[in-house]
Amino acid sequence: MKVIVTGGAGFIGSHLVDALILKGAEVHILDNLVAGQLVSVNPKAELHEVDICSEEAKSIILHVKPDAVFHLAAQADVGMSVQNPKYDADVNIKGTINILEASRDARVKKFIFASTSAVYGNLKKEFLSENETTIPASYYGLSKLTAESYIRLFYELYRLPYTILRYANVYGPRQLPKGEGGVIAVFLNRLKTDGTLSVHGDGEQTRDFIYVTDIVAANIAALDRGAQQTIQISTSKKTSINDILKRLAVIHGQCIQTVFTAPREGDIKHSCLNNEKAQNVLNWHPTVDILNGLNETYDFHQRNS
Ligand code: NAD
């Protein structure tokens, strides 16, 4: 099997590349390294250092003729999208269209897209399913939602098969302390220098934290399942920031200094995605609980100081 992973030098993409190589796939990465890191790139993969918006990226897809394209390359920073909506749209919308056109022309058998819970915006519901109203509250959420619509229309017009995966808050080794959902990476980075951790609000806000290898497994399951489906990939469990802090203190073996600051305007209190559809359609379920995931991530951060 031949595959292309866009964003394969990034946090999630690099783990996906590792798993695909282990499965014996020939893996090509398209990444301009704007946020990705060379150290994360599996030496058995072929790295093409290109922008997904370029003609060169298109030519590579046409030349490689992959069986599947995993499209993870993105401007993945919510704050950056609000500061620079044009750049966000260029990468996340126009870049996706470029990769879609090439995938259509190369007769790719499956296009698998990394979408996000940010498409729902600040819905006041605590447990979201895929058919919930989407009202993005950031340009990032909007650009990802728009990319989803292009993907669906490429199927309607050209029969390019797809699966859209909407991830909850992903964490794990190689995540940089920025971008989407990186609170655990931010905390672990501060702990390395024994710095004080800063929490917005009272810490009782909850998120659905999912370990990166579970996201990888869902992507691989989508190779053969979930055609023309939009599916949430999550633990369906709420974990509070205070709970993360307590667990980290146990792993760290000492007390963690924490300051609580004013809540960030616009931050949602609780966010949790229902994963029933993923279990039924992809025959997938999360396997790494928060304690094991935090332990692995903590060890990675300590080793890589
Ligand atoms: P990341 O920033 O680590 O990875 C993105 C990769 O895309 C980087 O390697 C970067 O260099 C590359 N890239 C960016 N712009 C590019 C361009 N114009 N051309 C080529 N390459 C480019 O982010 P991540 O956390 O690994 O996220 C991967 C995907 O998953 C993204 O699409 C993101 O929106 C989505 N996602 C992430 C999370 C999360 O919690 N991390 C949650 C939901 C969805």
Which sequence spans correspond to the domains of the chain? 2-168+212-236+274-281, 171-206+237-267+290-304
Query: How far does the centroid of ligand 1 lie from the alpha carbon of residue 153, in Å?
Result: 23
Q: Are strands 209-211 and 68-71 parallel, antiparallel or unpaired?
A: unpaired
Residue 179 has what pLDDT?
Answer: 57
Does ligand 1 lie within 6 Å of residue 141's CB atom? no
Fold type of domain 2-168+212-236+274-281: Rossmann fold (3.40.50)
Q: Which atom of ligand 1 is nearest to the CA of 8?
A: 9
CA-closest residue to ligand 1 atom 21: 31
Nearest residue to 221 via CA among 16, 12, 4, 11: 16
Query: Tokens at residue 112, please?
Result: 């698998």
Indicate if the alpha-carbon torsion angle 255, 174, 119, 51 is positive or negative: positive
Amino acid, single-letter form, for residue 127: F
The one catalytic residue among 120, 140, 171, 298: 140
Burial 265-297 (b: 16+ CB within 10 A, else e): eeebeebbbbbebbeebbebebebebeebbebb
Counting Cα atoms < 13 Å in the Cβ hemisphere of 234 gives 27
Does ligand 1 lie within 6 Å of residue 218's CB atom? no
Q: Which residue has the tokens 């109203």?
A: 133
Mutate which of 180, 212, 214, 239 for ligand 1 pocket (most atoms within 8 A of beta carbon): 180
Does ligand 1 lie within 6 Å of residue 40's CB atom? no
pLDDT, tens digit only, all 305 positions of the chain: 999 999 999 999 999 999 999 999 999 999 999 999 999 999 999 999 999 999 999 999 999 999 999 999 999 999 999 999 999 999 999 999 999 999 999 999 999 999 999 999 988 888 999 999 999 999 999 999 999 999 999 999 999 999 999 999 999 999 998 755 589 999 999 888 767 999 989 999 999 999 999 999 999 999 999 999 999 999 999 999 999 999 999 999 988 999 999 887 767 788 899 999 999 999 999 999 999 999 999 999 988 86
Active site residue 140: yes
Burial (CB count within 10 angstroms: exposed 0-12, middle 13-18, buried 19+), residue 235: buried
Rg (C-alpha) for the chain, rounded Å, is: 19
CATH superfamily, domain 171-206+237-267+290-304, is UDP-galactose 4-epimerase, domain 1 (3.90.25.10)
